[in-house]
Amino acid sequence: GQQVMQIPQYQHVQEGEDFTTYCNSSTTLSNIQWYKQRPGGHPVFLIQLVKSGEVKKQKRLTFQFGEAKKNSSLHITATQTTDVGTYFCAGPRETSGSRLTFGEGTQLTVNP
Amino acid sequence: EPEVTQTPSHQVTQMGQEVILRCVPISNHLYFYWYRQILGQKVEFLVSFYNNEISEKSEIFDDQFSVERPDGSNFTLKIRSTKLEDSAMYFCASSRDSRTGLRQYFGPGTRLTVT
């Protein structure tokens, strides 16, 4: 079945440092979605990328979707303590319905 | 922003008991989902529901699980005979329709603890 993999599993940074998490799917995705989950919280939608090679920015966050629509990345510039949480990528299969397959997530901790 | 709500926030039950987890999706949404997240692990798809029937289900969603939309607002997940390994956070989600790629709105979750 479809697998979505993320690396790294954990990332510890000092406040002000940059952070990147990478996502790879075993199958082509019609789109990729990114979610953030704070400790004890629920997944909160951040963004969706649809087009091959698409790049989107949200303030300090930059999201990329690969040309083959099988990989994606999230980059945070100058992390802040409010960025703490687990970042998940998720995507439906291109030929399937809307069920989301989530990656394992990258847990980010930011030391002040 | 519209919200999905879930009750209860925490459910403790004994192994073998039946539990019903409740969700109120966003009012104009038509597509509903249940996901679960075992502590420290990723979010896993269980089932999707559209037009009063199951649209898709995963291998996790076996005969012990069922879903229902008993009225115009609630969406429930029933586990008939709970097992220890059913302990997890259960998230309900909804989207406006069935088109692939529409944003899914997640509820706050129900923490199920099976003892």
- Chain segment B28-83, per-residue pLDDT in tens: 899 999 999 999 899 999 999 998 999 999 999 999 999 999 887 899 999 999 99
> Is the Cβ pair A45, B103 closer than 8 Å?
yes
Q: How confident is the model at residue A94 (pLDDT cuts 50, 70, 90)?
A: low
Is the Cβ–Cβ distance between A48 and A32 less than 8 Å?
yes
Is pLDDT above 80 for B88?
Answer: yes
Residue among B73, B87, B99, B94 at smallest CA distance from B36: B87
Residue-level pLDDT at B101 = 61
Question: Residue B41: its chain A contacts at CB < 8 A?
Answer: 104
> Is the Cβ pair A33, B103 closer than 8 Å?
yes
Q: What are phi and psi of B101, to 5 degrees?
A: 100, -5
Q: How confident is the model at residue B15 (pLDDT cuts 50, 70, 90)?
A: very high
Number of other residues whose CB lies within 10 A of the CB of residue A100: 24
Task: Write out residues 37-76 of A within 8 Å (CB-CB) of B.
Answer: 41-45, 48, 50
B60-65: which pairs have CB atoms within 8 A and are 24 or more residues apart? B60/B36
> What six digits make up the tokens of A112?
């002040």
> What six digits make up the tokens of B19?
């539990």
Q: What are phi and psi of A82, to 5 degrees?
A: -70, -10
Is the Cβ–Cβ distance between B111 and B11 less than 8 Å?
yes
Cβ pairs A/B, distance under 8 A: 67
Beta strands in A1-112 (DSSP E): 4-7, 10-14, 19-25, 32-37, 44-49, 55-58, 61-65, 71-76, 85-91, 101-102, 106-111
User: What is the average pLDDT value for chain B, to the nearest integer?
Assistant: 93
A92 touches B at CB < 8 Å: yes
Task: Write out residues 23-62 of B within 8 Å (CB-CB) of A.
Answer: 31, 33, 35, 41-45, 48, 55-56, 58
> Is the Cβ pair A100, B55 closer than 8 Å?
no
> Is the Cβ pair A105, B33 closer than 8 Å?
no
Q: What are phi and psi of B103, to 5 degrees?
A: -60, 135
Alpha-carbon distance B97 to nearest alpha carbon in chain A (angstroms): 10
Is pLDDT above 70 for B100?
Answer: no
- Chain segment A21-77, per-residue pLDDT in tens: 999 999 898 899 999 999 989 999 999 999 999 999 999 999 999 999 999 999 999
> Is the Cβ pair B100, A48 closer than 8 Å?
no
The residue type of A26 is: S
For A99, the closest of B45, B91, B105 (CB atoms) is B45
> What six digits make up the tokens of A94?
């291109």
d(CA B13, CA B21): 12
Alpha-carbon distance A103 to nearest alpha carbon in chain B (angstroms): 7
A33 touches B at CB < 8 Å: yes
Residue-level pLDDT at B64 = 96
